[in-house]
Chain A
Amino acid sequence: MTEINNTIEKSPVKLTREDFVSDQMVKWCPGCGDHAILASVSKVFPEIGYKKENFVFVSGIGCSSRFPYYVNTYGFHSIHGRATPIASGVKIANPKLSVWIVTGDGDSMAIGGNHFIHIIRRNIDVNILLLNNRIYGLTKGQYSPTSPLGSITKTSPYGTIEHPFNPGELVLGAQGTFYARALDVNPKLMTEIMFEAARHDGTSVVEVLQNCVIFNDGAYDDITDKSVRDDRTIVLRAGEKMIFGINRDKGLHLKGTSLEVVTIGQDGITEDDLLVHDPYQADPGIHLMLAKMSGPDFPVALGVIRSAKCYPTYDDLMEEQIAEISAKSKIRCMDDLLMSGDTWTV
């Protein structure tokens, strides 16, 4: 892992997983995907290396939003949909904090949808963990904005009649600079992605496809089951060929302006014909195509899909503006301001 380089103060001692374990009882259902995500956070935070006091978790409402209670950092469990603006306030007020948002598909895509696109547009340097189980869990099983068309749930007994959001498309549509996708059943990849998210300057969104054992069990079986996972997902890594498949013989290739799945050795295709992943390129075109891939014709893309440094962060611009205007201004304090402009003495 490459070192993280920014103004957040590093810990003088090497921290361990235990430094981030909270004294609270974890109350998620046994078998819930959230447990694995919590484990990954506890594992990656010591690697990130900041002082433990500099981490802040902010969440909204939902099963995933209980997260701050279960990790020993500064934490704020807020109200439905509003973790993003609260975290924006935290980061802008004190840019020397490492701010993490934990949210779900209801919290971020429905009630908090407006805030979600605006935090991304502003490129505030926070990290969003979007735990997507495609269902409302805490209210016991209603469909969410990411439930596939036709989903049978407690509020859609005859199947949903609305099209779901693909969070990756929203992130890129809002001019996002970082988007990654992980599986709760692959903690190694998840940890790797979280580190990259921390390293990125700007809003990072990590979507974790997460299983709800109670209300939507098996929602991702068609891609996560060990027997099919390698054929139905592709792990993208910077600078590497886009190869997947249990036999590592399939790949992605650009045909005209569209992606195409090809098999190495068939129709004269060699490894050289496959695309090389570049998450750092400013143009989001190919990132959008990768984020949108789904079965049965395409594998679901995992890993860091986009990590572009195409514009500065809001918090950096704010600090720069304050420094620049302060240097120029003759008004240094309230007494100066009160006496500025038109005044007269009696």
Chain B
Amino acid sequence: MESIELLSPAALREHPGLAVVAAIGLLLCVDLLAKLAGLQVGPLGGSLSVARLGSNLWNGLVIGLVIGLAGIGLSMTYSILNFANFSHGDLVSTGAFTGWGVAFVVAAAGSQPLGALVTVRDAGDVTPGAIGAHVLSTPGAIVVGLLAAFAITAVVSLAIDRAFYKPMRDRGGIALLITSVGVALVVRYLIQFAYGADRRGITASVDGDTLATPLGVSVTAHQLTIAVAAIGLMVAMHYTLQRTKLGTAMRAMADNKDLALITGIPAERVVAATWILGGGLAGASGYLYVLLRGTIQFDFGWSLLLLIFAAVILGGIGSIYGAIAGGLVIGLVFTTSTVWISSDFNAAAAFAVMILVLLLRPEGLFGGVSTA
């Protein structure tokens, strides 16, 4: 409901900044339609093929789902533990490396040396083609890897919480934020130490990878896998929060911590559940991101962190549905902004959107409806 009020004339009068942004957004939409129709009206319009826009939108959707999946955990820790977790990006990397290690082992344990598989091609001299990890040729390995990414990252997150955050439960959000920067360094560089620093290929190329081309937009098997897996995890998350006792407790904690504690909610169990679910989803999203890109590097999660923050802020901190929606918006901004500006700036455009939201509507685009 809030999002409708957002664009009401009264709301726009009260927030002139918002009005300007809305006007620009409208202008871009008009321009986009003109471009699609191949019209040139003054500075507006031009030409843009349906196929190009379609593939921008589809790619944005897939990236957005991955970012949104990662954002759920960040949003949960932000609202339940009250701090911006700067090590979240490195949990994303943790899931990617551990998950792909497991996937490689399942895919090629008999045929390739184990060391090369476990270290995700750091040790030994094995090509991605020799391992042959692809959802069409080794679907079992891809699924097992995803589950492993979730499970291992959940355990790692929980261990980090016990070691580093638990002794600081009574401290303020800023102290925790700074601590999380330290945790981020520890995790990222342990990954580099164990798995090496170089960027390398992960997935094999397989014939018939492009499954369909509706309207000229090519849909690959991996994109479809990511979409299905991400949506599946999101739905599972939704049911966990809505239908289980623990989920209700988590929503209560996110909503009003003090009240929740008075009513006898087991705080530490909720915190543990937050890390297991949030960390696990971060790990899964990292695994899926590598499936999308086909390559891996020790600090890719860190470089994704600001985009994940952008998604969470857009959706309103504390709302998992907001984080998903925010992820989609960021993904779409990321890919469709190239219609207007150079691809040098697509990340900058996403950050600019994030800053605008923080300045103009810090409760998020969808209006501070806290759903956990």
Q: Do A and B come from one complex?
A: no
Which residues of A are at the interface with B, using a C-beta cutoff of 8 A? none
Using a CB–CB cutoff of 8 Å, the interface residues on chain B facing chain A are none
